[in-house]
């Protein structure tokens, strides 16, 4: 299982603390320090919509040229995520073929803890 994010992101910190507190083994991949490749993003997009993955509430998004924001589509979003990984909504948790975007304790419980709903 891999948790993708940025180490100083508060939401990523919450997810990491939750995983550690619940004894869930995971590998952390910092998308800013370690980078991200198109193959990984394409894999995520098999399960989640590009609009879910693109963080339009981020500081990085606000810095994107208005014309580019107005004409964003799947292809352009992928290029943008590759060029500026901090624009990816975080964290992205990958367990086998299941992708969770953002941190939601209930979703983590249902995916990762036996006996949970």
Mean predicted lDDT score pLDDT of the chain: 94
Q: Domain limits of the chain?
A: 2-112
The pLDDT of residue 69: 94
**Residue 117: pLDDT over 70:** no
What DSSP letter does each residue of 33-75 carry, written as one string? TT---HHHHHHHTTTS-HHHHB-TTSHHHHTS-HHHHHT--HH
Q: Which of 3, 9, 36, 88 is an active site residue?
A: 9
CB 101 within 8 A of CB 89: yes
Q: Give the CATH H-level superfamily of domain 2-112.
A: Glutaredoxin (3.40.30.10)
- Whether omega for the bond prior to residue 91 falls within 30 degrees of 0, making it cis, is yes
16-68 per-position pLDDT tens digit: 999 999 999 999 999 999 999 999 999 999 999 999 999 999 999 999 999 99
3-class DSSP assignment, residue 101: strand
Confidence of residue 77 (pLDDT cuts 50, 70, 90): very high
**Residue 116: pLDDT over 80:** no
Q: Is 9 a catalytic residue?
A: yes
The pLDDT of residue 88: 97
The whole model's pTM is what?
0.92
């Amino acid at each position: 299982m891999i948790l993708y994010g940025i180490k100083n992101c508060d939401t990523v910190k919450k997810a990491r603390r939750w995983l550690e507190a619940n004894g869930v083994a995971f590998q952390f991949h910092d998308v800013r320090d370690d980078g991200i490749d198109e193959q990984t993003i394409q894999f995520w997009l098999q399960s989640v919509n590009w609009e879910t993955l693109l963080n339009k509430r981020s500081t990085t998004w606000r810095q994107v040229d208005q014309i580019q924001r107005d004409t964003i589509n799947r292809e352009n979003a992928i290029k943008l995520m590759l060029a500026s990984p901090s624009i990816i909504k975080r964290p992205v948790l990958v367990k086998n073929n299941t992708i969770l975007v953002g941190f939601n304790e209930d979703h983590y419980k249902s995916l990762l803890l036996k006996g949970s709903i």
